[in-house]
Structures are given as structure tokens and as C-alpha cells.
Amino acid sequence: MALGQDTVDRIRASAALYPSKQSAILPALWAVQHEQGYVTDEAMGEIAQHLGLPPSLIEATASFYSMFLLRPEGRHEVVICVNAPCMLRGADEMAAHIQRRLGVRDGQTTPDGAITWHSTIECLGACGGAPMMQVDHRFEEDLTPQKVDAIFDRLRTEPAPHEAPKPKKAVAVAPVKGEKVRSGAEGARARGRKTQK
């Protein structure tokens, strides 16, 4: 599947933005994943062409980072942290609940293709809201079984983030005048951060 024009434009814009075009590799990979949901070898080859770099370099970089999906997964990605700070607050039990609830094991996708879940030892930066998980890269904290169930019910019917009607801007590209995406920042507000007294 060849890359869409919008993605190609983003890759080219990134290449122009940085002092070195090689710096555009991560933004390009994000742009591809944003469009296609994962990054194929074919897409890496295309990135290499657009950036004028050897394709081995793209694969070397893409495979180093844990967030690029190299094969198709479910419409929604659910990642639960089981590192020590989360473990202390019941992450293992919550992971067990997720497994029971979704009926598939760590790393697998539900039969309806809606959700791929996995646990990670990589801290996701929400130890204060443990147990926590990221759903399509958005934080869900202070999890309870009920809260998890409600989230899964929602995900079962929602389209994949990259196929949603209004795609969220998720890649570093040359800022375009007049284009403003505020939803993220407001979203962050909406989820009641811990504030000190």
C-alpha cells in the first residue's frame, strides 16, 4: 500500500524542518503509523526514498523504538504498565482482569479485531495514578475493574484513531499557520490532574 499524499507531504515537510534530513526519520515513521496503523517494510522503503537515505537506516531506527508497530494489530491499543510503582498498587491484578475480560492473552488481539492489549515493563509516566493504562496513547489512570470494563465497551464500537473522522494530529511537522489543535491540551485538563493543596 503506497503512502498517501498527505503522509508524503508530512515526510517532506519534516525533512525540510530539521538541519539534517535524517532527523525526519522518527516523524516520518509516526506519519506512516498515523496513516496506516503500523509500519510495513514497504513503507520504510518509501520513507528511505523520500528522505534519500539507505533503507537499512530506516529499519535500524524503526526497530529500535518500542512504539512502532511492525505488523497489523487491533483497532485500539491498550497498554498496561506493570513496573514496580504500578505493581505496588495492583497492576498485576488489573492485568489479570484485562486478560479475563478480553479473553485473550498478553500481546494478542480480541477476535473481533477491536483491541490488542499488552502489559509493559516500560514505565508510562503515571505512577501517581496507578494502576494505569494507555489507550491509543491516551492516559487512563486510577483504574478499577468497572472503569476498565467501561473503556472496553466504548472501544468495541469506536473506529481506530487513525481512521476516525477527525484524525488527531500526532506527528511533528512544520507548523502550518492557522492550524490549531487544542483537543490534546484540553483533554489533559479534563482528566483531573493531581494538584497539591
Tell which positions 65-84 bind another protein, by CB under 8 A. 65-68, 82-84
Q: Say whether the peptide bond before residue 175 is cis (omega within 30 degrees of 0).
A: no
Tell which positions 118-177 bind another protein, by CB under 8 A. 121-130, 134, 137-139, 168-172, 175
Q: Which CB sits closer to another protein, 70 or 104? A: 70
Asked if 84 contacts 120 with a C-beta cutoff of 8 angstroms, the reply is no
Would you count residue 22 as binding another protein (CB under 8 A)?
A: yes
Tell which positions 90-109 bind another protein, by CB under 8 A. none
Would you count residue 2 as binding another protein (CB under 8 A)?
A: no
Query: Site for another protein (CB under 8 A): which residue of 2, 105, 185, 192?
Result: 185
Single out the residue of 151, 139, 37, 38 nearest to residue 80, CA to CA. Answer: 139
Shortest Å, Cβ 160 to another protein: 15
Residue 106 Cα distances to 80, 81, 91, 92, 162, angstroms: 10, 12, 14, 12, 23
Task: Provide the grid cell at 164.
Answer: 476516525
